[in-house]
Amino acid sequence: MDQQPVAIVTGAGRGIGRATSIQLAQAGFRLALLARTKTDLAETARRAGEEKCFVLPADVANSSLVDAAVAQTVQRFGRLDAVVNCAGQAPMFFLQDTTDQMWRDVLDINLSAAFYLCRAAWPVFKRQKSGAVVLVSSVAARDPFPGFAAYGAAKAAINSLGWSLSREGADIGVRVHVVAPGATETAMLRDLFSPQQIPTDKTLAPEDVARVIVSCVRGDLVHSSGEVIYLHK
């Protein structure tokens, strides 16, 4: 088996997912990059090093596609050392305007997708007796803006999911970390807030968040398994 480590990154097409992919590649990882938009993934692969990347366009809210992506990654690289769930959406709508479908969609992409990824990777980690999981949460889990009822609830559930999985993983060598950044300078943020509402000097750079994620993956923060790591500027 090739000893060069392998990571799956979801939401890899833009923002924190792209920055994380680039930094993991620089740290010596081979990568499976998941997101819905093939052109975005291709650009991430170009920046990370195409020879290190396996591009897998997929809707990670679809469990069968996530299962297939994990299987394809292991088949291609022969191993899987880490999964990083960066996929997410942060639509803002108030309670009275939230339809059943809107609620389900937010939970699917922000919560269920992370669960599907962990569930699919778990047997591989168990067989290898090692693995790392990083779930990207948000400060909105504990301090949501008005209109973030669904998003905040999903991210709070991510925090709990991380705690639960860290306990399940302890006996099989799997670490689980939750990274919860505040406002980060991404297209998702700017779709919601102008620089006048949230000035750029008050936001984190995606690369700032990525550095913490990579530290978790590499084991630098081994004793924080289960903890929620909040990042602020």
Query: Which are the catalytic amino acids?
Result: 151
Q: Which two structure tokens, joined as six digits, stand for 70?
A: 């994990």
CA–CA dist 92, 147 (Å, integer): 5
Which helix H or strand E contains 160, and what residues bound it? helix 149-169
Inter-residue contact 118 to 133 (CB < 8 Å): yes
Query: Within its chain, how far is the Cα of 119 from the centroid?
Result: 14
Q: The tokens 């991210």 sit on which residue?
A: 155
**What is the dihedral sign for C-alpha 105, 111, 117, 120?**
negative
Q: Which two structure tokens, joined as six digits, stand for 222?
A: 């081994």
Q: Which two structure tokens, joined as six digits, stand for 69?
A: 């992506």
